[in-house]
Structure 1
Amino acid sequence: MDEKTRVELEAAAFRRLRDHLRERTDVQNIDLMNLAGFCRNCLSNWYQEAAADNGVEIDKSSARELIYGMPYEEWKARHQSEATQEQKEKFKKSHPGH
């Protein structure tokens, strides 16, 4: 496979993951962190870092909006619930010092 095709396929897979996470608003970021070690915010940070590595300046809120499909504060108001004590304890165990 040539490099251009590989990059296009990787980009398509990323967009599909992004869109899937936009649709699955029932899945909270803390659940993603507890199960997979990353969340929507991680994806937005990685996007922002990749942009910077390529000389493109994207601020944190713009990167988050690209991942969430809306401003982060709006997403939180619409979809984020308070983490349960169990979720918080699991997060502390799986991400000490975070």
Structure 2
Amino acid sequence: MTDLPTPAGQARNPLHGITLAALLDQLVARHGWAGLAERIPIRCFTHEPSFASSLKFLRRTPWAREKVESLYLFMLREDRRNGPDSPPQG
């Protein structure tokens, strides 16, 4: 089995290979639904949030998906800045 090279445009992209479901799962684990609704006030997080309905909305709404991806990238930067031994902020 051979490993395919990463395309040049994706070499440093931290979102490359991360599914929207995995990304949302990590954000919910870190902040909870209430924390997500506070940071990104969209209806799929504020009113009866569920994993399935949020994924459906985010897949169909590019501006909302960009906000969620941006929050995820911010979380990664915080983790990198704080180091592996510090407790997660949330």
Query: Given the two structures, how large is their TM-score scaled by the length of structure 2?
Result: 0.31
Query: Given the two structures, how large is their TM-score scaled by the length of structure 1?
Result: 0.29
Greater share of residues in helix: 1
